[in-house]
Amino acid sequence: MTDLMGKVAIVTGGSRGIGRGIAERLGRDGAYVVVNYSGSEQDANEVVDAICDAGGKSVSIQADLSKVADIHTLFAKTLDYFGKLDILVNNAGIGGEINAIEKVTVEDYERVFNLNVRGVLFSLQEAAKHMANNGRIVNISSTTTLHPSARMSVYAASKAAVKLFTQVMAQEVGDRDITVNTVTPGPVVPGMFGRFSPEHQQQAAASSPFNRVGTPQDIADIVAFLVSEEARWISGQEICANGGAKI
């Protein structure tokens, strides 16, 4: 376990899947965890209860990160609760319709980019304003940016923007000893990949030499390292976490 005792962490989209795994891991490591959620209040409160039952400290805060006003509210409430911010994990995201480019609609583009791109950008902006020196930022991307496939253009493009934000932000806040990195998961279940058919999931598992898809804990353990003091010399990097898979 890493030592995050007394650190304050926001995990966006922290109520389910990868976000839940990250929130619970950071809580076990001693961080005070803000579990952000958009619509799943019950799930968020279950994560808070799990962290608190294990001896940690956590609160849930509702905010739709596709809305800049809600982003401001999330950070303001975090500072009201805990007085500071040390860690931000930009995990909240949404998948788009799986369509060829010729069939992409304006509505689907806006729905995906409003959360996956605008939400991350303006969360980073708030972190730049409010994060303590020696802070840690981790942005969650996707291996769809590494292995382009048909009908994934909108989602993959939104996650590619997240990687670029990481590289730029790392240059902008490094003089405050704040690190910024990207974790790029492959297929993870439970998580967004769970909406695919069992056959598709089996194919993804077979593409890894471990013969399985990832779990939220696999990703959470990597994030826990990146937000630790031991990772102070890693910034502007992308960590591919896909179990050696080729898709």
Both structure tokens of 145 = 């940016």
CA distances from 75 to 69, 134, 184 (A): 10, 18, 25
Residue 155 is a catalytic residue: yes
**Residue 133: exposed, middle, or buried by beta-carbon count in 10 A (0-12, 13-18, 19+)?**
exposed
Instruction: Report the interhelical angle of 17-28 vs 216-226 (nearest 10°).
Output: 50
How far the first Cα of the chain sits from its last, in Å, is: 30
Nearest to 44 by CA among 10, 8, 72: 10
d(CA 52, CA 46): 10
Active-site positions? 155
